[in-house]
Amino acid sequence: MAKTTKKRRGPHPTAKVELDVPVRVGQTVEVEITGLNHEGAGVGRIEGYTLFVDGALAGERVHARVDHVKKNFGFAKLTEVIEASTHRFLPPCPLYDRCGGCSLQHLAYEEQLRHKQQIVRDNLRRIGGFQVEGEGAITVHPTLGMSDPWRYRNKAQVPIGEENGALVGGFYAEKSHSIIDMNECLIQHQVNDEAVAVVKQAATKLNITAYDEVRHSGLLRHVVVKVGVKTGEVMVVLVTTEEQIPQRDQLVEAICTQVAGVTSIVQNINPDKTNVIFGKKTVTLWGSDVIYDYIGPIKFAISARSFYQVNPAQTEVLYNKTLEYAGATGTETVIDAYCGIGTISLFLAQKSKHVYGVEIVPEAIADANRNAQLNGVENATFEAGPAEVVIPAWKEKGIRADVIVVDPPRKGCDEALLTTILEMQPERVVYVSCNPSTLARDLKVLAERYEVKEVQPVDMFPHTGHVESVAVLVRVSIVAQEPYK
């Protein structure tokens, strides 16, 4: 008889495996906070084990309840501040501790700006391997902030629900889909709050039902409001599950008569069971299909679904810095990869010989062409397609870029685009980033042939952990011939 050996079994798939860490879920611990992570949570250590504590600040000693543990780090909620930071700030928003929209209202604004500069520096050092201190280091400038960091958002996307027979609308509680009803949000333009309130009240009175994502029933899913800050024009978008809106005319009349500055009321139909806000079909119920706004001297048409920066004041700061770093004097050919609706391209066209913009979304290219026509810009060409395909095709046609500007999504540049840039060898690369970690990763690749000269963080989203930045890179052969200007 053959001898059989019994296989050693691992834990049952549903069994809870205890991790060998110095804290456990539900435990309240005392911890010293030594810094903040990129999302604004306090960073502390217990016996060398990293604990991220929501609501805690650097320099504080706190009590925190452990919510979740992993092998190398855990998460905890602040329960008591034993020793407070001198930079702790009383959040003016009464819903701050429940809403997931902001993460840094409890930190004084000047300190928020310092924190965001440090986040950029840390990522460049740890991920990119760059020197950020001492001789020969990359200059990371202090973060450019706002003189008044409130009421800056020109767009609200508010989910609608129902509570006690009335419609509610606000923002989701942190890490949930539970709607927190609110009458005002201190980082939203005041007109956004007023428009949402009008829709909630009118729709409740007209017995228009709210969408229930669990049952996949009801009509009104979201209210989206867009404001042209310079023009004062307002668009209200009703996102519904069906095209038919009961008592639609009365709802439209209520919005027209009660929302100051409204020039466009639009309906978007999204019947799908999805977390995506917009569906494919959009119809104009009243007024214009678009509203208009300006960033600096450039005028933009904004439709219900088109992307437009939510903080136009800081966008102008960011784009002016991009224009400065491009070093355009009127003789340069510039390529704008990830050009979107042409916002950066049209800024660059002011001081360039010609700008070529590429974007993978055809609808965005249509908007870019419309915005160029709107501003009488004739030295800009836009094409739809992947940048890593379109740019080499341009090169084959004899188009050679003096400057390439990239403004990728959070995941950073496509690897093939980075290879294309290295092959094209423009004199300068200007990298606009919304994610310091992917910025550092991509700059490390480009550093094969380029010297990263400086990085300018810009605070586009005060009171949140997000930071935008723009970096300028100069081709090494150019650096060797003449000093960077």
| Residue numbering of the annotated binding site | 309, 338, 359, 407
Cα separation, 159 vs 318, whole angstroms: 30
Say if residue 257 is exposed, middle or buried (CB neighbours under 10 Å; 0-12, 13-18, 19+): exposed
CA distances to 38, 118, 125, 271 from 133, in Å: 20, 12, 9, 54
Three-state SS at 404: strand
Q: What is the rounded CA–CA span in Å between residue 311 and residue 229?
A: 9
Best CA proximity match to 171, nearest among 93, 75, 232, 279: 93
Residue 434: active-site member: yes
Closest C-alpha to 442, from 477, 410, 479, 478: 410
CB 197 within 8 A of CB 189: no
Q: Which phi and psi (to 5°) does residue 53 adopt?
A: -115, 110
Q: Which of 264, 258, 268 is CA-nearest to residue 195?
A: 258
In this structure, how many other beta carbons lie within 10 angstroms of the beta carbon of residue 273? Answer: 8
Per the annotation, binding residues for S-adenosyl-L-methionine are 309, 338, 359, 407
State the catalytic residue, choosing from 93, 102, 185, 434: 434
For residues 56 and 45, the answer to whether their CB atoms sit within 8 Å is no
Structural tokens at position 32: 């010293």
Burial class of residue 453 in the structure, from the number of CB atoms within 10 Å of its CB (0-12 exposed, 13-18 middle, 19+ buried) = middle
Phi/psi region, residue 118 (left: phi>0; alpha: psi -120 to 50; beta: rest), is alpha
* DSSP 8-state code for residue 43: E
- Structure tokens of 5? 């050996």
Count, in order, helices (H) and strands (E) of the chain. Answer: 10, 22
Catalytic residues: 434
